[in-house]
Chains A and B, each alone.
Chain A
Amino acid sequence: MRVASLAKLTIGALVIGLLAPAAGDLSGQAPAAQLMLLSREGRRTLPLAVLDGQDMVALDDLASVFQLAVREVAGALTVSYRGRTVVLTPDQTIASVAGRLISLPAAPSRVGGRWMVPVEFIGRGLAPIYDTRLDLRRASRLLVIGELRVPRVVIRHEPLGTSVQLAIDATPPAASTVVQVGTDRLTIRFDADAIDVTFPSFQPQGFVQALGAIDPVTIGVDLGPRFASYRAAAETIDDTARLVLDVLGPPSAAAGAEMTTGEPARFDFPRSGQPGRALRTLAIDAGHGGDEVGARGEAGTLEKDVTLAAARRLRAAVETRLGLRVVMTREDDRTVPLIDRTAIANNNKADLLLSLHANASFRRNASGAVAYVVEFDQSSEPAEVRVPERVPVFGGGFRDIEIVPWYLAQAAHRGRSEEFAHLVVRRLQGRVRLGPRPVDRAPLRVLESANMPAVLLEMGYLSNEDQERQLASGDFQNTIVQSLVDALVTFRDAGRASGGEGR
């Protein structure tokens, strides 16, 4: 019901954002598409025709909106605005704009007695000769006329079992305010003239039932029966303002709520069954070192140097910004056996192990980050990892202890490891290139004996020329570190929400 009421409120530019993907699928069929024009004077629409998958707009429509003079002279089309002219040639994808050549994705064509031009003509042909800024948002079929602040807003929805996290990115940055309206809605109002928003598709899970637009600058979040409270945190990274909105259930009743609502509990991540522990100590493993240089880039970049540099940056960020205790498996250029790396994490009772690496492929085109979690080979897969054993205690009596085989310690933490790997990938998404399978499983030695959630992150490929340059740069490393810090914040908060404060 709330979904319907929200849908009715959905208007304006936001409709464009919602309909864009669907309209894209229908390319080549009905010309029902529209281009939304947004200016200080208000908003209006221009009909679009979709020809062979290409959005086309009628030249006479553009002429009437932008006061253009269109003439057909000697087989050419001239479009003039205050003495500046664009010359288009039918069946040609090249046009001359005030004497400079530009290319268009399709040639002008005559449909039903009207000249149609690709919508890109507005950005490439018209904008250079027009005296007001024209910002064409091709994907959302939006044209912003003049100096309006219309940030692109991308929303990601992450179910975390006992909470849901919405990551809302506004580019260019726009401040936002979150307000709770009654018990069943949150509103997020942006300080902008309008927003160009993309909503995620997701299954309602009792926390967030629906997302929609309330007015041109406000997003509504319809809350479900499992909602108890929310937490919002904002930060600006480069040219994007990110609002992280956690929609939380009651901590102690979280498990019970799943039983009483009658809805099947939805988890994006498989869980090991072990309650989330508070995140207090992070073990950072800088891959390779000393004689073991790891992968080597064409320009001479060594994996061991990249991993150490990134590990140092991450330690600084985590210690200062999250206040966590950090344990490093190596702090300088030295050889550390794999078994010692895991032992350092175990002996320091780390709550999470993050091993940093740089990848390499036999083919140079491979690129993108990959987060690996452990995979036990089926021949060594434990049927029952934990074997309780009763031992006598000093002073009399007995105590049950769990014997975990050293080489299988990670088996009990696979669920949370996978959860963290997905978080890392989601935070990296849109910031750095991701591999085709960004979360993967492999029998990796450094992870197998870790008695805590553990992830090995391959930050990029040294075998790829572009990526080698990136991996060696401070900017790229900082981007990775920022994404990891964001993922750690979510992971820590999810641990708290699931009642993992104590150990």
Chain B
Amino acid sequence: MTVRRAGGLVLVMAAVAALVPTAWLTFPGWFPAQSVSPQGGPEAESDGRRIKARLFYVSEDGTRLTVVERDVAYADNVEDQAREIISAQIAPAIEPHVSAVPPGARLRALFVTPGGEAFVDMSAEMAAAHPGGSLNELLTIYTIVNALTVNLPSVTAVQVLIDGKEVDTLAGHVDLRSPLARNLAWLQDTESAATNPESQLSVRHPDQNTRNP
């Protein structure tokens, strides 16, 4: 019995060992090139240069997002710039703004595929400290999704991961199993945004075309 189990285990391990390099070759973009420290590297590269980014906070009536323009450190590639934007977005909000990102949620990793899909890996607090409710969940998710898709046009969709893993939902409502596209319907003034979203909301990163054509 024991021998048979041990034999089975060896087979499984062999299969896993064979699959790992295959997965690495098949989905190279799914693995961050280096471990990410949101406060680290990119700051140093910015040389004090800053870009204007649109960040998202909960509207006064509590049911939509409003746009606030902020200076964010410049980074010379889209992935680092995305980290800068998310770090600024999840930092505690300054009064009177209210953040839709739960307090304590940290950015663990962020990577962008050549196809323009960004994967934002947040710490467990993002789900554990979430206050729940469909609306809150939608606001939290679209804060992250819009922060990247609006500021970096080369990012077309965003998937939020929690603690390194793909999740069904953050708090039981919004489907997070695949990347979500920019959604301006969650902005308070959707009419004006919808008529001309690009001119109103896009901040073009100087390096986006070379990085993600």
- Residues of A at the B interface (CB closer than 8 Å) are 287-288, 292-296, 303, 337-339, 357-366, 370, 372, 377-380, 407, 435-437, 441-446, 448, 456, 458, 461-463
Considering the complex of A and B, which 4 residue pairs feature the smallest CB-CB distances, nearest first? A360-B133, A363-B62, A366-B62, A361-B62
- Complex-state Cα separation, A448 to B135, whole angstroms: 17
Cβ of B58: which chain A residues have Cβ within 8 Å of it? Answer: 361-363
Flag if B138 contacts A442 (CB, 8 Å): yes
B92 at the interface (CB under 8 A from A): no
A379-B157, A442-B138 given as contacts; is B61 within 8 A of A362 (CB)? no
Please tell me which one of the listed residues A292, A337, A361, A448 contacts residue B136 in the complex, with CB atoms under 8 A apart.
Answer: A361
B98 at the interface (CB under 8 A from A): yes
B139 at the interface (CB under 8 A from A): yes
Instruction: Please give the distance in Å from B6's CB to the nearest CB on chain A.
Output: 34
B164 at the interface (CB under 8 A from A): no
Count A/B pairs, Cβ under 8 Å: 119
- Complex-state Cα separation, A444 to B180, whole angstroms: 12
| Interface 9-residue window, one of B28-36, B39-47, B68-76, B168-176 | B168-176
Flag if B178 contacts A445 (CB, 8 Å): no
Instruction: Please give the distance in Å from B145's CB to the nearest CB on chain A.
Output: 9
- Complex-state Cα separation, A435 to B63, whole angstroms: 8
Residue of A nearest to B190 (CB): A437
- Complex-state Cα separation, A435 to B60, whole angstroms: 14
Instruction: Please give the distance in Å from A391's CB to the nearest CB on chain B.
Output: 29
Please tell me which one of the listed residues A360, A366, A378, A444 contacts residue B132 in the complex, with CB atoms under 8 A apart.
Answer: A360
Sample 20 A-B pairs with CB under 8 A, ordered by A number: A292-B172, A293-B132, A303-B132, A303-B133, A338-B172, A357-B173, A362-B98, A362-B131, A364-B62, A365-B60, A372-B134, A377-B175, A377-B178, A378-B181, A379-B178, A379-B180, A442-B174, A445-B169, A461-B133, A463-B131
Cβ of B63: which chain A residues have Cβ within 8 Å of it? Answer: 361, 366, 435-437
Flag if B173 contacts A445 (CB, 8 Å): yes
Instruction: Please give the distance in Å from A67's CB to the nearest CB on chain B.
Output: 50
Q: List 6 additional A-B contacts (Cβ < 8 Å) besides A294-B171, A339-B168, A363-B59.
A: A358-B133, A360-B131, A366-B135, A379-B156, A379-B181, A445-B177
Flag if B133 contacts A359 (CB, 8 Å): yes
Encoded as 1 (CB less than 8 Å from any A CB) or 0, chain B from 98 to 133 comes to 111000000000000000000000000000000111
Cβ of A444: which chain B residues have Cβ within 8 Å of it? Answer: 134, 173-175
Instruction: Please give the distance in Å from B75's CB to the nearest CB on chain A.
Output: 26
- Complex-state Cα separation, A361 to B185, whole angstroms: 17
- Complex-state Cα separation, A295 to B59, whole angstroms: 20
Flag if B180 contacts A443 (CB, 8 Å): yes
Cβ of B171: which chain A residues have Cβ within 8 Å of it? Answer: 294
- Complex-state Cα separation, A456 to B135, whole angstroms: 12
- Complex-state Cα separation, A333 to B188, whole angstroms: 36
Cβ of B179: which chain A residues have Cβ within 8 Å of it? Answer: 377, 379
Residue of B nearest to A436 (CB): B63
Cβ of A461: which chain B residues have Cβ within 8 Å of it? Answer: 133
Give residues of chain B (180-200) contacting chain A, Cβ–Cβ below 8 Å.
180-181, 183, 185
Instruction: Please give the distance in Å from B191's CB to the nearest CB on chain A.
Output: 12
Flag if A445 contacts B62 (CB, 8 Å): no
Flag if B168 contacts A445 (CB, 8 Å): yes
Cβ of B183: which chain A residues have Cβ within 8 Å of it? Answer: 377
Cβ of B98: which chain A residues have Cβ within 8 Å of it? Answer: 362-363
- Complex-state Cα separation, A357 to B133, whole angstroms: 8
Instruction: Please give the distance in Å from B173's CB to the nearest CB on chain A.
Output: 5
Q: Tell me the count of chain B residues lying within 8 A, CB to CB, of chain A.
A: 33
Flag if B139 contacts A362 (CB, 8 Å): yes
Flag if B168 contacts A357 (CB, 8 Å): no
Please tell me which one of the listed residues A365, A380, A441, A443 contacts residue B62 in the complex, with CB atoms under 8 A apart.
Answer: A365
Most buried by B among A293, A337, A360, A441: A360
Most buried by A among B132, B157, B177: B132
- Complex-state Cα separation, A372 to B60, whole angstroms: 21
- Complex-state Cα separation, A288 to B59, whole angstroms: 27
Cβ of B99: which chain A residues have Cβ within 8 Å of it? Answer: 362
Please tell me which one of the listed residues B60, B132, B180, B181 contacts residue A363 in the complex, with CB atoms under 8 A apart.
Answer: B60
Flag if A463 contacts B133 (CB, 8 Å): yes
Flag if B135 contacts A360 (CB, 8 Å): yes
- Complex-state Cα separation, A404 to B83, whole angstroms: 38
Residue of A nearest to B157 (CB): A379
Instruction: Please give the distance in Å from B91's CB to the nearest CB on chain A.
Output: 16
Flag if A359 contacts B174 (CB, 8 Å): no
Instruction: Please give the distance in Å from B8's CB to the nearest CB on chain A.
Output: 29
Residue of B nearest to A362 (CB): B58
- Complex-state Cα separation, A407 to B176, whole angstroms: 12
Cβ of A378: which chain B residues have Cβ within 8 Å of it? Answer: 181
- Complex-state Cα separation, A364 to B131, whole angstroms: 12
- Complex-state Cα separation, A287 to B181, whole angstroms: 26
Cβ of B61: which chain A residues have Cβ within 8 Å of it? Answer: 363, 365-366, 436
Cβ of A441: which chain B residues have Cβ within 8 Å of it? Answer: 185
- Complex-state Cα separation, A362 to B63, whole angstroms: 9
- Complex-state Cα separation, A293 to B172, whole angstroms: 10
Most buried by B among A443, A445, A461: A443
Flag if B178 contacts A359 (CB, 8 Å): no
Residue of A nearest to B132 (CB): A295
Cβ of B138: which chain A residues have Cβ within 8 Å of it? Answer: 442
Flag if A445 contacts B175 (CB, 8 Å): yes
- Complex-state Cα separation, A90 to B74, whole angstroms: 66
- Complex-state Cα separation, A287 to B132, whole angstroms: 12
Cβ of A365: which chain B residues have Cβ within 8 Å of it? Answer: 60-62
Cβ of B178: which chain A residues have Cβ within 8 Å of it? Answer: 377, 379-380
Cβ of B156: which chain A residues have Cβ within 8 Å of it? Answer: 379
Flag if A442 contacts B134 (CB, 8 Å): yes
Instruction: Please give the distance in Å from B117's CB to the nearest CB on chain A.
Output: 8
- Complex-state Cα separation, A377 to B157, whole angstroms: 10
Flag if A456 contacts B134 (CB, 8 Å): yes
Flag if A445 contacts B174 (CB, 8 Å): yes
- Complex-state Cα separation, A461 to B98, whole angstroms: 17
Flag if B132 contacts A370 (CB, 8 Å): no
A362-B100, A366-B62, A379-B179 given as contacts; is B174 within 8 A of A458 (CB)? no
Instruction: Please give the distance in Å from B168's CB to the nearest CB on chain A.
Output: 6
Most buried by B among A441, A442, A444: A442
- Complex-state Cα separation, A361 to B65, whole angstroms: 11
Instruction: Please give the distance in Å from B10's CB to the nearest CB on chain A.
Output: 33
- Complex-state Cα separation, A150 to B157, whole angstroms: 58
Cβ of B175: which chain A residues have Cβ within 8 Å of it? Answer: 377, 443-445, 448
Residue of A nearest to B101 (CB): A362
